[in-house]
Chain A
């Protein structure tokens, strides 16, 4: 109170400056790097402005310097997008009932379940994905369990397939979906559902028209928190998808590693960020439209 705006900005300056340098600095560095070209020995040639990295997203020059379509980025992008969407959808299907069930439990059980979800949430991602190698690999734990029931069963051979990557992504990010939806469900006033039921709505209708809309903030937050890291995932496809670098994250890392084409890598990163911002804007727009409609109905 009573502090002038100037003083407020002054007291915020150190923190804001720190974020600007430590976080925005790297983002700007990517933008800058994306407009350079590959130096002959790898690394970056800062001397001239170039959109070569961006061109390479869709086309590359062949031996004779003629641009021919390049599907490396597009196919990785399509795979990343579809895997991320499927991951988000499956997480959503699991998380909604689980979150509602948790919110309806007694206080003690709720706190316990919350702790139980939080533990793997913060457990090391690398270690958790590694655990799935042990399970999915040939003659691994899964095969062992299946053989103990059906001795003659063939190996599942799941490791190093897209299914393994999907399982890994769901496993990695599922808690991100449950926690925000749980937060919404916990605030939900169940008497609203009682009222809808009392007004003659069927259970299905109550769920679709009353419960789901009120869980929407949690669902949106959870979907964002699953979708973004899935789109940029590196460890899961690297460990469970095998040697093939077939998602965006791996493609980016490859350009900074063995391929040594940083400008292209930076361009892919920018494309990834752009697609994420686009998705966020879309979600924002949809949820805004929705709330406007709700106001009109009211």
Chain B
């Protein structure tokens, strides 16, 4: 819900926000921290095995909060384990700050991981957990203590340093896991779906907490998630993975506003997909409305038009139907859901297809909106993306 609202408002001043993002990245210098070139991973025999990753190229910048987003089974966890050195890629190279690390074992890589299960050592206290990586690196004495204390303060767990993980709440365990992974001062911090075990409220809190920690340490974060809302809220940039391939890389705003293909259009945010006929090379017809669009395609082809629910306008006023007929799709309200700031309508178009429209509650205040009401649904041509029709829509 939040994301949709944010996305919607940002689309108004698209240009401005891009500048802000670029500037904030620019402050830390745009040097490439983590570079992946042609990384492949195949499980089983090379010819017939399961291809978990196919030719992954990525450049992740220094100090960036970068997300790897994709549905389960898309290869994001394999990629993370390869970055951590817990698995080896079948082909391709990975370098950190221009140093190739393909043959560096996990216990020598300047990369630390926050595991999905947190993987806190249950037989050590919080303090010993955080010190573990430092002790491995032969840091001792006051250096060790200072660093652990610094980390405890960073994640606000100074009071709980002598507790065992079993005595902590999920959110606290999460903080320990982050502190433990950050303590050895890694160049890159990997986070594996680490918020998924928390309940919704705590997750929101931890999101801003993660963001704060990342900003204050300046460490490059690579965050793996299947939750697009989370990825959008947290990331400077993100890569969307599907079936082992990187499908699109960009800022959340870019990806939200210009999904590279239908998969991403459907995966990121809510999207209406409307089947329609192409009348000419740039003209489609849907539910009695003719639209001239920016895309070009074969006349007579069957295409799918994608538009965000918040980009639709709805005219409830029957009297103006004449005027609207040139610029609106005819439909009937089927269902109304009021969720506070947003009024969501499901609308059946005259050709039988269904749409979801989201209106700001204050924009429709005082209007009488009832199921079975005939309406006209309007859409801006610039908000439309068009994809070739695939089976099943």
Contacts and interface: CB of A to CB of B under 8 A. Distances in A.
Whether A and B touch directly in their complex, counting CB atoms under 8 A apart, is answered as yes
B317 interface: no
A1 interface: yes
Interface in A16-55: none
The size class of the interface chain B forms with chain A is under 10
Nearest to B81: A1
A2 interface: yes
Interface string B126-160: 00000000000000000000000000000000000
Contacts of B88: 2
B86 interface: yes
Interface string B72-90: 0000000000000011100
A1 B87 CA distance: 8
A1 to B, nearest CB: 7
Nearest to A2: B87
The prevalent SS among residues of A at the interface is loop
A148 B28 CA distance: 96
A2 B84 CA distance: 14
Contacts, number: 5
A2 B41 CA distance: 12
B106 to A, nearest CB: 11
Contacts of A1: 86-87
B253 to A, nearest CB: 38
Contacts of A2: 86-88
A33 B86 CA distance: 52
Interface string B313-353: 00000000000000000000000000000000000000000
A1 B86 CA distance: 9
A7 to B, nearest CB: 15
A201 B361 CA distance: 52
A1 B88 CA distance: 11
A2 B87 CA distance: 7
Contacts of B87: 1-2
Interface string B81-123: 0000011100000000000000000000000000000000000
A29 to B, nearest CB: 42
B45 to A, nearest CB: 12
A186 to B, nearest CB: 22
A2 B88 CA distance: 8
A2 B43 CA distance: 10
A146 to B, nearest CB: 56
A2 B106 CA distance: 13
Contacts of B86: 1-2
Interface in B215-229: none
A237 to B, nearest CB: 49
A6 B86 CA distance: 19
Interface string B164-186: 00000000000000000000000
B314 to A, nearest CB: 46
B294 to A, nearest CB: 49
B73 to A, nearest CB: 17
B98 to A, nearest CB: 27
A1 B43 CA distance: 11
B90 to A, nearest CB: 12
A285 to B, nearest CB: 35
A3 to B, nearest CB: 11
Nearest to B88: A2
A6 to B, nearest CB: 14
A2 B105 CA distance: 13
B282 to A, nearest CB: 53
A173 to B, nearest CB: 38
A2 B44 CA distance: 11
A1 B106 CA distance: 14
B387 to A, nearest CB: 39
B367 to A, nearest CB: 48
A198 to B, nearest CB: 31
A20 B337 CA distance: 69
Interface string B46-90: 000000000000000000000000000000000000000011100
Nearest to B87: A2
B291 to A, nearest CB: 51
B42 to A, nearest CB: 13
A208 B361 CA distance: 58
Interface in B236-253: none
B109 to A, nearest CB: 15
Nearest to B86: A1
5 contacts: A1-B86, A1-B87, A2-B86, A2-B87, A2-B88
Interface of B: 86-88
What are the nearest 5 A-B pairs in CB distance?
Answer: A2-B87, A1-B87, A1-B86, A2-B88, A2-B86
